[in-house]
Amino acid sequence: MPDQPVRTPDRLLARRTFLARIGVLGATSAVATAIPATTLARTSQAAPAAPAHPDTASVTDAALDRLLDLLRPVLSELSRDTLSGLVVMTSPGPDRFSAAQGTPRPEPGAIEAGGTDFIIEALDGFVPFPDQLSTPLLAALTTALDDTGIALPTSLNTLLLGQVATLDQALLVILRNDQTLPLSLVVALLLNLLATQVNPLSVTGVLSSPFARLSLDEKCRAFELLEGPDADLIGLLDANLPEPLRDSLSGLLRFLAGALLEFSAFGSYNEWAVFDRQTRELTARPVGWELSGYQPDGVVHGWDDFIGYYQDRSEVGA
Amino acid sequence: MRDVIVIGAGGGGPVVAKELAGRGLDVLLLEAGPRHADPDSEWTHLENDANNPLTGFLRFGPQDRGAPAWYRETPQNSFIWQLSGVGGTTQHYFGNCPRAMPGVFTGYDGADRDAYDTAHLFPFSYDELVPYYEWVEATLPVQTAAMGTKESVFFRGCEGIGLPVQTTKTTVEDSFRPQQNAILQPGGWAGKVTGRDDPRLRYPESTGCTFCGYCMQGCSMPHGAPRNLAAKRSTDNSYVPMALTADAWADGGRAAELIADAYVTRIHTERRSGETVATGVTWRVGSTGEVHREDAAVVVLAGGCTESPRLWLNSALPNPNGWVGRGYTDHFFDWMIGLFDERTESSKGAASAARADFPGRGGMENVGLTPGLQQFAAVFSDSGIRGHHTNGRAPKGPWDGPAGRMIGPELKDALMNGIDRLLNILVITDDDVEAHNRVTLSALPADEHGPVPKVRFHQRRRSARTLANREFVARKAAEVLRAAGARKVVRVDWPPLLLHVQSSMRMGRSEDDSVLNADAEARWVKRLFVADNSALANSLGGPNPTLTAQALATRTAEKIFSTYFGGDPWVAREAPTVSTDARISSRLADVVG
Ligand SMILES: Cc1cc2nc3c(=O)[nH]c(=O)nc-3n(C[C@H](O)[C@H](O)[C@H](O)COP(=O)(O)OP(=O)(O)OC[C@H]3O[C@@H](n4cnc5c(N)ncnc54)[C@H](O)[C@@H]3O)c2cc1C
């Protein structure tokens, strides 16, 4: 785990841009006034050794706790919006995410099929993703800087640098200390990072997530970067990986790119959202069944589709 | 001390267990996953509940469904589709049982003898395996597949491109046919009525395949049938019931003991007169974490192509030529989707009941899926997103547009055209054994069973023959769909989907590139045999692997019996008992309770 970064103004400017790119800055603007400011180090050279734990920095514990309470729902909303932006790639419908990607459809789609919750539940509850890979990814997201000089719109420039430092500190706590790893949040932040690489203007807009603001074509370009995987992305992420795992990273990103789309497709068309675990029955007709005409009268135990044997041959010789 | 301990109750392990239990040996069958003894109360016919690889009742993970699935490292876009549980991956297999191409065996002398992976032939002849094929075909049993609408569409396409019909079990030329499959032919009302809870669809009013369309969700149809009369002959319905009731159907037979939720973490060996000899195993009980150890005269490893190398390496068994885990073949699949205006009834009937073969190239089969899996298959691609990016590939050909995953409106419209108005073709490549496609131990942290396997496939650096074969068959598949009347044909260009898995612990002619000798005994560990798909010498030329692995496992059971128990081989001189035998049904009622 890398040390707590030094909080100098230059660094914080770059960090602020990064937080904007992964969607955190925009999403938190609503609670911005509640963010207390951290005292900044005087110069980068003279900065004291970084504290070992993120939560021992210069905002009081009580203030940080209050902020965390405010931040958690905001970040979970950010993940939801981002992953909604993902699932509508595989089944656009009448929702605002499909509209935002430029492919509105009248009939139900991924959102109505519960695709967002499907993917969040899968990522957070069940993906047996080893900490050894997720920890460095988290570290990258919580320490990375953006000095590409993307100009932030004024709406994202309202936080004082001290507040940015606090926000950053809180993010670190949420990503590192929560009981279960919020893999959905990690994935969302990653998608947002790629989104702002594809289209820097996506840092602001109507929805809370940069990725969800992209057109379908731009989302595909973001996936191109993930799947490539893009050298800049690798460079950003692998600095934190222990040596034996460096090789695994590009493979992991390729795997992730595929898996996110495959899982979105599976979840957007299967019965997950309307399955009652207690009775093991459906509570309504799944969206995917309705769209595809599958099992018009529900589950059957047989079909009358036995035509016979090809050329009437029901057995063959050696 | 047991006579034999078999590790893994999937496609191969139960075959050895059944055969040796039938000879009266004391056999212990250990399975890492759940038992699924009562499908009626444990299973549904719903694809997420069944097939979600993280949470489904058919997944690769522990018995406790609330616990996470077992993580395997795949450092590329790819997907390993193996299952734990009694029946292993056959629980959701399609039951297709073609024989291997004769050209992949030593001694083949046909005009096309150079067309195969000749550097990695089986160390014996096709003729030598034929009696074992016949034995397994009679036991499962294997029959000619019944035809539904989707098969008739596939056949029309094959006729349309001028392919001849194959009417034999052995393939000798480019041809098409109904599958020979391990699915009981429909009898009574089966296949003739549509319904739920219709008494006519219950056993014995219906026997065999009811055309329900849930092969991939596990087969327990027709309702009310004894387990060994369920239509699809996955080993949980065929070989396992036979192993557990061997005293009932075999003269002098002794029922095998099955323990599920028992993960073998180590194979033990000792040195005896200068040789390394297997002596037993240690396993961990999933629900309690308890550890047990038992000794046996012979140990049979049958964990599957990914897990058997892992257990070998975790047991620190010898690997002098480095071939443990190497030479993994997967038929480098591809997927072709044809959209039709007419009805194909793709979601009904056995999932895949028709095929075509191209000796020296591979083959293809039709596959029907449920909506979520259909869309999963349509976005599983190594060629980026159609019309957006190519990921450096996106080949063009007789399909529409560049290959790649569909997305957005195109993906949705494809399914809205109707799940029963499409036809999928699985492209099956005759692929080469290549040392770099392999299982190693991952550097990621170990789980409760030790270091986890890492499966590396270099899909873009496969042999020229493999790549050319795949393109050849992909073109044929597109042509068949067009000839059948498809309005639109999409090639997805799948990354490796590991479900036809072979040869990662291969037997071979040369000591330099094989792990097993011609008897399937480990070259460097006596009394240790391998009896799953990993023992296969190569990818069989493209035919689905399970029948051949089961024939080979039958032969291996004979080798074990004659080498270590002083018995005689039986396949040549006895007649097999069919797994649907009534004695098995009635004894099962007692043993399962
Ligand atoms: C969707 C699908 C369709 C298919 N259709 C066909 C088809 O039509 N025809 C065909 O021939 N093949 C088909 N296959 C492939 C077929 O399932 C495999 O060929 C077959 O199951 C392989 O048998 P196996 O014994 O090698 O491995 P598996 O069947 O995977 O069995 C291995 C077993 O060992 C257990 N195990 C592993 N490690 C341990 C351990 N350490 N301790 C205890 N137990 C352990 C596993 O839990 C598992 O149950 C299909 C596969 C899939 C996924």
- Expressed in angstroms and rounded, the spacing between residue B89 Cα and the centre of ligand 1 is 3
Among the partner residues A92, A289, A301, nearest to B196 by beta-carbon distance: A301
pLDDT at B337 over 70: yes
Mean pLDDT score of chain B: 97
**Which tens digit of pLDDT belongs to each residue from B101-133?**
999 999 999 999 999 999 999 999 999 999 999
Determine contact: A105 vs chain B, CB below 8 A.
Answer: yes
Size of interface A-B (CB pairs under 8 A): 279
Distance between CA atoms of residues B356 and B480, nearest Å:
10
- Expressed in angstroms and rounded, the spacing between residue B437 Cα and the centre of ligand 1 is 19
**Residue B538 near residue B104 (C-beta atoms within 8 A):** yes
**Which tens digit of pLDDT belongs to each residue from B385-402?**
999 999 999 999 999 999
pLDDT at residue B444, as a whole number: 84
ipTM of the complex: 0.96
- DSSP letter, residue A201: G
**Contact at CB, A310 and B165, closer than 8 angstroms:** yes
**Which tens digit of pLDDT belongs to each residue from A59-92?**
788 888 888 888 889 999 999 999 999 999 999 9
**Residue B119 near residue B433 (C-beta atoms within 8 A):** yes
**Which tens digit of pLDDT belongs to each residue from B463-508?**
999 999 999 999 999 999 999 999 999 999 999 999 999 999 999 9
Tokens linked to A234: 């690798």
Distance between CA atoms of residues A293 and B421, nearest Å:
10
SS3 state at B156: helix
SS3 state at B291: strand
Can you say whether the dihedral through the CA atoms of B236, B298, B448, B498 is positive or negative? Answer: negative
Give the residue with greater pLDDT, B519 vs A55: B519
- Expressed in angstroms and rounded, the spacing between residue B461 Cα and the centre of ligand 1 is 26
Among the partner residues A224, A266, A313, nearest to B373 by beta-carbon distance: A266
Give the residue carrying structure tokens 């809870």.
Answer: B197
SS3 state at B564: helix
pLDDT at residue A4, as a whole number: 52
Ligand 1 atom at minimum distance from B265 CA: 41
At residue B145 the predicted structure's pLDDT band, cuts being 50, 70 and 90, is: very high
Strand partners, A67: none
pLDDT at residue A255, as a whole number: 87
| Interior/surface letters A113-145, b for 16+ CB within 10 angstroms, e for the rest | bbbbbbbbbbbbebbebbebbbbbbbbbbbbbb
Q: What average pLDDT score do residues B504-525 get?
A: 98
Residues in chain A with CB shorter than 8 Å from the CB of B209 are 306
Q: How far is B318 from chain A (nearest CA, A)?
A: 24
Q: How far is A226 from chain B (nearest CA, A)?
A: 10
Tokens linked to B28: 């212990």
**Contact at CB, B418 and A247, closer than 8 angstroms:** no
Tokens linked to A314: 């029901």
Residue nearest to atom 41 of ligand 1 (CA): B264
For A134-193, give the DSSP string: HHHHHHHHHH----S-PPPPGGG--S-HHHHHHHHHHHHHHHHHSSS--HHHHHHHHHHH
Strand partners, B429: B362
pLDDT at residue A28, as a whole number: 87
Strands A275-276 and B422-429: unpaired
pLDDT at residue A3, as a whole number: 45
SS3 state at B22: helix
- Expressed in angstroms and rounded, the spacing between residue A259 Cα and the centre of ligand 1 is 22
pLDDT at residue A63, as a whole number: 84
Distance between CA atoms of residues B13 and B30, nearest Å:
9
Q: How far is B143 from chain A (nearest CA, A)?
A: 6
Residues in chain A with CB shorter than 8 Å from the CB of B144 are 309, 313-316
Determine contact: A136 vs chain B, CB below 8 A.
Answer: no
Residues 6+ apart with CB under 8 A from B144: A309, A313, A314, A315, A316, B178, B179, B180, B185
Neighbours of A3 (CB within 10 A): 11
- DSSP letter, residue B147: B
- Per residue, the 3-state secondary structure of B158-216, as one string, reads HHHCCCCECCECCCCCCEEEECEECECCCEECCCCCCECCCHHHECCCEECCCCCCCHH
| Interior/surface letters B163-198, b for 16+ CB within 10 angstroms, e for the rest | beebeebbbeebbbbbbbbbbbbbbbbbbbbbbeeb
- Expressed in angstroms and rounded, the spacing between residue B82 Cα and the centre of ligand 1 is 6
Distance between CA atoms of residues A262 and A122, nearest Å:
12
Percentage of the residues of chain B whose pLDDT score is greater than 90: 98
Question: Pocket residues for ligand 1 (CB within 6 Å)?
Answer: B 7-13, 30-33, 81-82, 84-85, 88-90, 92-96, 216, 263-264, 302-304, 307, 311, 499-500, 532-533, 544-547, 549
Residue nearest to atom 37 of ligand 1 (CA): B303
**CATH superfamily assigned to domain B2-165+190-588:** FAD/NAD(P)-binding domain (3.50.50.60)
Distance between CA atoms of residues B344 and B421, nearest Å:
5
Distance between CA atoms of residues B429 and B466, nearest Å:
7
pLDDT at B148 over 60: yes
Residue type for position B462:
R
Residue type for position B529:
F
Report residue A289: phi and psi, to 5°.
Answer: -70, -40
pLDDT at residue A54, as a whole number: 45
pLDDT at B57 over 70: yes
Q: What average pLDDT score do residues B234-248 get?
A: 98
Strand partners, B183: B232
**Residue B239 near residue B232 (C-beta atoms within 8 A):** no
Among the partner residues B52, B76, B167, nearest to A316 by beta-carbon distance: B167
Cis peptide leading into A36, omega within 30 of 0? no
**pTM of the model as a whole:** 0.96
**Contact at CB, B415 and A288, closer than 8 angstroms:** yes
Tokens linked to B10: 């999937």
Report residue B188: phi and psi, to 5°.
Answer: 60, -130
pLDDT at residue B368, as a whole number: 98
Q: What average pLDDT score do residues B409-430 get?
A: 98
Q: Could you state, in order of their start, the residue ranges of all structural domains in chain B?
A: 2-165+190-588
Residue type for position A135:
T
**Contact at CB, A90 and B411, closer than 8 angstroms:** yes
Q: Which residues of chain A have pLDDT under 50?
A: 1-3, 42-56
Residues 6+ apart with CB under 8 A from A171: A19, A24, A71, A75, A142
**Residue B159 near residue A315 (C-beta atoms within 8 A):** no
Q: How far is A109 from chain B (nearest CA, A)?
A: 9
Mutate to test the interface with B, among A301, A315, A316 (most CBs of B within 10 A): A301
Mutate to test the interface with A, among B375, B436, B449 (most CBs of A within 10 A): B375
Tokens linked to A43: 């110069």
**Contact at CB, A91 and B76, closer than 8 angstroms:** no
For B589, half-sphere exposure in the C-beta direction (CA atoms, 13 angstrom radius) is: 8
pLDDT at residue A52, as a whole number: 41
pLDDT at residue B146, as a whole number: 98
Cα three-residue angle B44-B46-B52, rounded to 5 degrees: 105
Give the residue carrying structure tokens 């899982």.
Answer: A263
